[in-house]
Structure 1
């Protein structure tokens, strides 16, 4: 699918140009990236969520100071960017991060075999050179990266054991779980992460949300996703680095995720906004914390939107976070279901009142149809006579004689 927002020079499409937007954190960059800008990032192993956010912004090109594919595992991001028709130039080195926000650059995509060159507009000075990724080069890199899966799985197993040792009391006994005021016992809980296909999942779940009215937990920017979908979160969980002030002030219960040592990067911001909050110190990710809170509160069902489910998605998330998510899913597994599973299995329930209205509508339609045909009019006349005889019979049974003229 070609990116409809991509802007290139009309005279030479092999030399895209635009205003530079620079940030070492891709998720921060995408908040201010506009269609036609040139995104400058420093993101080793570009993941799917970051790539989808870049594509949605519609840049003229993506310049990555780091390798978009390191070969450790088959990460999903580079293919998404390339398939969208956005030029991706890799491994440009730290010099490209020295570009100043607002400068205009030109990228030569054919400067030697598979090489791309970055220059300031109107200058011949080369600022950086890197590798131009294509569909073929990404496919080759993905194939080669599969060989690194065994090493990553070994690291994953070691990381899982380390997390289990540090958080076994929390996982097994709920030690340290804060007392939340949002009632979840016996209810469905919808955990929304601004991750994989979250917009499509929320759209598909609209009938389910309207009918079951689940408790909605927004994980950081997931709270804004809930608001954008036309709903209001009951709880917001996260380190508060990607959630808006509007979401924090929407009336939801706010749980600030802190590190195990008690340091909470987002606490100052929440306090400055004057928002009532609780602090929850734990090693896992905010996504994990939201699920553990719902499980501890007695949720009947936990529906996950935008979270990680497959092996590649766990790897794409990064080894540091995937072990906690894996163990959390094991802990709450009996109550957890992915949003796609709900949308496929869910069918709107029909209430007794709806069935009654449907039957009445059918009877009215039948009466109208009969009243406009000769046969129908005869049938209605006979039905009326039978009805009168039935009423007379019932009156005689209870001692009510027909009215007779007075003497």
Structure 2
């Protein structure tokens, strides 16, 4: 956004957790978040809801790494103002009408807070500064990798700690769906694989909703249960709650409230929920693990934060060739022939076949026989519906 742009007026929607707030956003709302380093997934979720503006209490790019979120928001035409400070949450009520003008947030003509209005130029500068700090992040990554490997060596090397589950995985392909990068497109592209192979489908938190939205049913849901809907939790899938290493499992409380507490399986482990989903599938004998929406690149590791980087890296090393990353398959393969074109192609083939048959004596005789049959069938059909004479 440029400070020269006109003011934006809309309904304020407040939420410190971006993924929770996006569920309540409507077209033209003004989203107020507290999200340092807005990542690609969060930005795409915001863009999908089409708010008029995004106001960020924190820095949208802290300089830790060149995150893609601010660029995605600005390119979508959404006003972005950051570093507003906590006074925004104190001075604005959810549902209140506010105005954003330049870097200022106004309520009833009074300035509530003032921050930095982001545009192409400011984002380019912050991204350049962030790239210069990548070496430090790589050092931290190496340090965290060693710490995680020592802490979880039993699970990584021997599978010790993986719980018993009722879902039969041994010898079957497994599809793990995370609501991450390009998950919708890739899941749609994998429909033939799902129909032909009937894999065990594991939804990681909100990935279970993605599975249901795509017309399938998850066999298992793994996660801390904070971003999955009640609909998905009640779908009949086996529920595996990702617990802390000390056994605490806040997600189990929600399942208790829903009356699903007797179905809970606890999996205490550090790392991320997508990591333990992969480790569980591998330990239970999956023949192949197909991952949709998971994290695999340096940018994606950094989007997850330092705490989650090392676990994902080591998990992928642990699984090895069994893991097939489906991310981006929708961009690699795109159907370029429309249904109408296929119909025309089929008709052209039939016409060519008819011409070839007519060019031979045998083909001419065959066509004449078919024509006589069709003529007889048409006559019978006509007589069937013609009026019949009645006796006097």
Query: 1:193: Cα distance to partner?
Result: 0.4
The match for 1:296 among 273, 283, 290 is 283
State how 1:266-345 maps to structure 2 within 5 Å.
266-275=251-260, 276-340=263-327
Aligned to 1:195: 180
Aligned to 2:250: 265
Distance in 2 (CA, whole Å) between partners of 1:375 and 1:51 is 68
Distance in 2 (CA, whole Å) between partners of 1:378 and 1:314 is 68
Aligned to 1:15: 7
The answer to whether 1:249 aligns with 2:241 is no
Alpha carbons 2:186, 2:328 under 8 Å: kept: no
Is the partner of 2:160 in helix, strand or coil? coil
Alpha carbons 2:185, 2:330 under 8 Å: kept: no
The answer to whether 1:169 aligns with 2:154 is yes
The match for 1:117 among 104, 111, 117 is 104
Q: Please, which moves more after superposition, 286-295 or 265-274? A: 265-274
State how 1:344-355 maps to structure 2 within 5 Å.
none
Distance in 1 (CA, whole Å) between partners of 2:138 and 2:268 is 27
Aligned to 1:54: 46
The answer to whether 1:103 aligns with 2:96 is yes
Residue 377 and residue 313 in structure 1: after superposition, are their counterparts in 2 closer, same or farther (change >3 A)? closer
Query: 1:192: Cα distance to partner?
Result: 0.3
Residue 124 and residue 207 in structure 1: after superposition, are their counterparts in 2 closer, same or farther (change >3 A)? same
* Per-residue CA distance 1:334-390 (angstroms, 9 max, x = gap): 11111147668999xxxxxxxxxxxxxx99x979974x677126877xxxxxxxxxx
Unaligned runs of 5+ in 1: 3-11, 110-115, 348-361, 381-407
Residue 324 and residue 340 in structure 1: after superposition, are their counterparts in 2 closer, same or farther (change >3 A)? closer
The TM-score, its normalising length taken from structure 2, stands at 0.83
Is the partner of 2:100 in helix, strand or coil? strand
Query: 1:274: Cα distance to partner?
Result: 2.6
Distance in 1 (CA, whole Å) between partners of 2:316 and 2:330 is 20
Alpha carbons 1:76, 1:316 under 8 Å: kept: no
Query: 1:305: Cα distance to partner?
Result: 0.7
* Per-residue CA distance 1:132-180 (angstroms, 9 max, x = gap): 1112211221111111111111111111111111111011011111111
Is the partner of 1:89 in helix, strand or coil? strand
The TM-score, its normalising length taken from structure 1, stands at 0.80
State how 1:377-392 maps to structure 2 within 5 Å.
none
Aligned to 2:362: 376
Distance in 2 (CA, whole Å) between partners of 1:238 and 1:28 is 16
Alpha carbons 1:60, 1:87 under 8 Å: kept: yes
Q: Which has the larger radius of gyration?
A: 1
The answer to whether 1:158 aligns with 2:143 is yes
| RMSD over equivalenced CA pairs, Å | 2.4
Query: 1:272: Cα distance to partner?
Result: 2.5
The answer to whether 1:72 aligns with 2:64 is yes
Aligned to 1:36: 28
Aligned to 2:372: none
Query: 1:23: Cα distance to partner?
Result: 1.0
Runs of 4+ in 1 over 4 A off after TM superposition: 341-347, 365-370, 377-380
Q: Please, which moves more after superposition, 303-312 or 180-189? A: 180-189
Residue 162 and residue 63 in structure 1: after superposition, are their counterparts in 2 closer, same or farther (change >3 A)? same
